[in-house]
Amino acid sequence: MSNGSRSGKQDRRKQLASLSFSEKVKILEKLRERSKKIAASRSKLARAVDKPG
Amino acid sequence: MKSTLETINQMQTDGIIGKYAIGGAVGATFYLEPAATLDVDIFVTLPAASRSKLMSLAPVYDYLKGRGFKAEKEHVVIGEWPVQFLPPSNDLEREALEEALETEIEGVKTWVMRAEHLVAIALNTARSKDHARILQFLEQRVVNADKLNQILVRHGLVSKWKRFQGRYLNKDVNE
């Protein structure tokens, strides 16, 4: 990773950390929804692999 | 989260729980950038009657079930969030709960553990994700080193901290 992109990432993290707690909790909720969707599609895929056709 | 906290505050008003504080990943989010988590850890003191029954959470679950909330393993789903109620299991967690900061989420009053307590609890719990979180706290410079040191001394965590420093921060454990 270049120094530029690393410092860009750090800046972004600082920017996120400086948001209000309410704003950060909203992001948490979106992350949680995304994690749930990924988990659901994984289990759907696993079922399809177990029962092909 | 708003409705989750409103329900928990109502439990407090109704005397089902005493003081409470958000810990874990959601608590850490007060100080750090948000990181994915599936649940909320709520540390709670229980009223005296419940404490006498070996810190039983039964009144908490009964209250919530009676209001239509569903238990899922160790969680109760309140609003959109699975909530784990955790009575403090040691003096460190008791202190963290007592000294929690009052704040608001979407206009709802709540309490969050202090950064130094979250770090000390993570150090004590010592899973990989706890160590990763401690490093985030240090990188973001949101921990008061003196306050953290006092907590580590008070709760017998100094040697654990030195091992952590040796492993992750390239510090000599004898420093």
Q: Are residues B58 and B139 in the same domain?
A: no
Residue B127, classed as helix, strand or coil, is: coil
For chain B, the domain total comes to: 2
Question: Residue A28 and residue B106: Cβ atoms within 8 Å?
Answer: no
For residue B18, what pLDDT band results from cuts at 50, 70 and 90? very high
What part of B 70-89 touches A (C-beta under 8 Å)? Answer: 80-81
DSSP string covering B30-78: TTS-----S-EEEEE---HHHHTTTT--HHHHHHHHHTTPEEETTEEEE
For chain A, the domain total comes to: 1
Q: Are residues B102 and B127 in the same domain?
A: no
A–B CB contacts, 8 A cutoff, strictly below: 52
* Domain assignment present for B173: no
- Put simply, whether A20 touches B (Cβ < 8 Å) is no
* Domain assignment present for B175: no
B104 CB neighbours in chain A (<8 A) are 21-22
Question: Residue A13 and residue B33: Cβ atoms within 8 Å?
Answer: yes
pLDDT at B47: 83
Burial (Cβ within 10 Å: 0-12, 13-18, ≥19) of residue B119? buried
Tell me, what DSSP letter sits at residue A52?
Answer: -
B26 CB neighbours in chain A (<8 A) are 25, 28
pLDDT digits (tens, 9 = 90+) for B92-123: 999 999 999 999 999 999 999 999 999 999 99
pLDDT digits (tens, 9 = 90+) for B59-78: 999 999 999 999 988 899 99
- A30 CA to centre of own chain: 8
Chain B: nearest CA to A50, how far in angstroms? 26
* Domain containing residue B60: CATH number: 3.30.460
- Report the chain A residue with the minimal C-alpha distance to residue B109: A22
pLDDT at B52: 52
For residue A2, what pLDDT band results from cuts at 50, 70 and 90? low
Give the domain-ending residue among B113, B131, B150: B113
Angle of helix B145-154 relative to helix B91-98, nearest 10 degrees, comes to 140
* Rounded average pLDDT over B143-155: 97
B30 CB neighbours in chain A (<8 A) are 21, 24
* Domain assignment present for B174: no
- Put simply, whether B108 touches A (Cβ < 8 Å) is no
